[in-house]
Amino acid sequence: MEHRDRISSLILLVFSFLVCVASYRLPVGIGSWHDPGPGFFPFWAGVIMGVLSFVAYLKALRIKGEDIGPWYSREKWKKVFWILVIIMAYAFVLERAGFVVSTFLLLFVLFRAVEGQRWGLAVGGSLAVAVLAYGIFDRWLKLQLPKGFWGF
Amino acid sequence: MDFLVNLQLGFSVILQPGNLFLCFLGCVMGTLVGVLPGLGPVAAISILLPSTYHMSPVSAIIMLAGIYYGAMYGGSTTSILVNIPGESASVITCLDGYQMARQGRAGAALGISAFGSFIAGTIATVLIMFAAPPLARIALVFGPPEYFSLMILGLAMLIYLATASMLKALIMACLGVVVGTIGTDPIHGVERFTFGSYTLMDGVGLVPVLMGLFGISEVLLTVEQSTQVDVYKTRIGKLLPTLEDWGKSIKPILRGTFIGFFIGILPGGTAVVSSFSAYIVEKKLSKYPEKFGTGVIEGVAAPEAANNSASQGSFIPLLTLGIPSNVVMAVLLGALLIQGVTPGPLLIKKYPEIFWGVIGSMYMGNFMLLLLNLPLIGIWVKLLKVPYAILFPMILFFCLLGVYTVNNSHIEIIIMIIFGGIGYLMKKFGYEGAPLVLAFVLSPMMENAFRQSLIMSAGGFGIFFSRPISLGLLLVTFVLLLLPLIPGLKKIPKGEPQ
């Protein structure tokens, strides 16, 4: 157990409490041993999880001494953050702009902005992958990828 | 000779050109993700899962199975040449494999691990062929209480073998159960925790959870570390092991095969654990245990044989009981269910072409993998030199594509990204993904078995303890969970989560 376990166990404790409350408030609710309702399973899983998280918190409290440093990398956390933002944007753009355009943009941004590849490689590589993937998965494997309003 | 007829059926399935090609494709993909660090069989199987929807069930599982045991072959290459495990079941191979490479014996190490894997894979296939049908007959007497207890035991086993902390693994298993209850309750038709989302009414999909926890989070972690992969610059040398190498390795390979197979069929047993166990057994039996870790060939042969036979052995609980014993099997269960095939004791009888087709494909697949991993080793080594800056956008893209095509829903992409973030934080705070995923998959099955049991007993909880098989399974579970509380008892070897 480490110092940082105090944070994680507390978060899990709060989460398990919310699960129990939500299970209790479901229609039909927890039910009984004789007739378990829809909330029965999540409720008891939540109770056990809460008890265990509390034990984990107590164990973490007993640890003395210095923290082992921040859990994120001081230099690189921005990169992780941006990657998450970019793929989240892809999820929202995909069905509007179509597969080929969104995929080209996704790869281009990842190659060029995040990793600083040369322009030629970023443009050419992204375009090649987007078109090739469209050909294989949509045309050949018939997976029906989204088309933008321009028809591809 | 009943089984000869069955085996003939199996080979007639696998020798159809389409199936043969898919088996080959699976083996190539498996070797590929095995070689590449940070991308394991779970991610690869999830990515290819949507493309199997148009196939027949047997073709789908032949390809997906090939990925799993193919990854076991590929993982050793990276361990030996780069000292980074290509996938988690090859962690222990780094110890002696990399030392052998430094001494100029990379060829022998690669050779023995490929041959060892081949021997183990072939023997394991024979063992499955003989062990599965009788087991399926035993499983026929299993009712809901036995199934419930067996699933609890499987989870307990996985938790007991957890890498870091059993407490944290237990918490993750509970979390998995909770996530598994999201969706429409099968008995009362009540929506649980869906927040009004149509996508969530069917429950959280397996593929977005897996890709998030094992694909996206791995990419985020690797990008943050940005270690430069440094392929050991050496001539690989002769790939065929010498007679002396064979003399030293043959017994470790055979022992590794049986250890791996036994661990593989246990619920909760994984290829990772089997490779650690096989290594430790060899070290105990060796005349020169102090030399382990300095480049002895037994230290490569035994674990590589074990992880292969374990990966194949773990098909037994899936195909005979319908219960996945590890995360990869959980994905395969999902693949079969999508195809309308429910694995269980009746599978071998009802769908002989699936069971025997898979057996046939394992024989062929192991043979293909031997060819892929020995004469063509150079290709895989080159692949290791592709910089991660080019690789990771591609991995992300395939995760996005794979998840989207499951249901053509961008909500599933968002679920994947959320689980990617959760997986990233879990790694940072020392929580494992495997108990969460297995509990998530088992949760609906467990809930059903639990409720059916209570209906059978008219609400009496005693039904789990009055039936001998169920009682036995629960007793083992209690022992496993209480063992670590006894001071002075050390846990058995553990591996990284898969």
pLDDT digits (tens, 9 = 90+) for A1-51: 456 788 899 999 999 999 999 999 888 888 877 778 889 989 999 999 999
Q: Which amino acid is at B483?
A: L
Chain B: closest CA distance from residue A94 (Å): 8
Task: Identify which of A46, A79, A143 has the shortest CB distance to residue B50.
Answer: A143
Chain A: closest CA distance from residue B387 (Å): 11
Show the DSSP H helices in B140-183 as ranges. Answer: 144-160, 166-180
Residue A79: list chain B partners with CB under 8 A. 223-224
Q: Tell me whether residues B192 and A73 touch, CB distance under 8 A.
A: no
Q: Tell me whether residues A38 and B190 touch, CB distance under 8 A.
A: yes
Q: Which two tokens stand for residue B309?
A: 């036979």
Nearest chain B alpha carbon to A23: B192
Nearest 5°: CA angle at B231, between B225 and B236? 160
Q: Tell me whether residues B417 and A91 touch, CB distance under 8 A.
A: yes
Question: What is the pLDDT tens value at each position of chain B, 498 positions in all?
Answer: 577 888 899 999 999 999 999 999 999 999 998 888 777 888 888 878 877 888 899 999 999 999 999 998 888 988 888 888 877 788 899 999 999 988 888 889 999 999 999 999 999 999 998 889 888 888 888 999 999 999 999 888 888 877 668 899 999 999 999 999 999 888 888 889 888 888 888 889 888 998 898 889 888 888 887 655 566 566 667 778 889 999 999 999 999 999 999 988 887 777 888 898 999 999 999 999 889 989 999 999 999 999 999 999 999 999 998 888 888 888 888 888 888 888 888 888 899 999 999 999 999 999 999 999 888 888 888 888 888 888 889 889 988 988 888 888 899 999 999 999 999 999 888 898 888 988 998 898 899 899 889 888 887 888 999 999 999 999 999 998 888 777 655 544 444 433
pLDDT confidence tier of residue A65, bands split at 50, 70 and 90: low
pTM > 0.80: yes
Considering Cα of A66, then A67, then A69, then A70, what sign does the dihedral take? negative
What kind and span of H or E run contains B192? strand B191-192
Burial (0-12, 13-18, 19+ Cβ within 10 Å), B73: buried
CB interface of A with B, residues 32-71, below 8 Å: 32-39, 41-42, 45-46, 48-49, 52-53, 55-56, 59, 71
| Reported ipTM | 0.91
Hey, is the C-beta of A10 within 8 angstroms of any chain B C-beta?
no
**Can you tell me which residue has the tokens 């699933």?**
B151
Chain A: closest CA distance from residue B8 (Å): 31
Residue A104: list chain B partners with CB under 8 A. none
Measured from the Cβ of residue B335, the count of other Cβ atoms closer than 10 Å reads 25
At B326 the pLDDT is: 84
Q: Tell me whether residues A142 and B54 touch, CB distance under 8 A.
A: yes
* Residue of B47, B52, B181, B428 to mutate, interface with A, max A Cβ within 10 Å: B181
Q: How many CA atoms lie within 13 A of A96 on its CB side?
A: 5
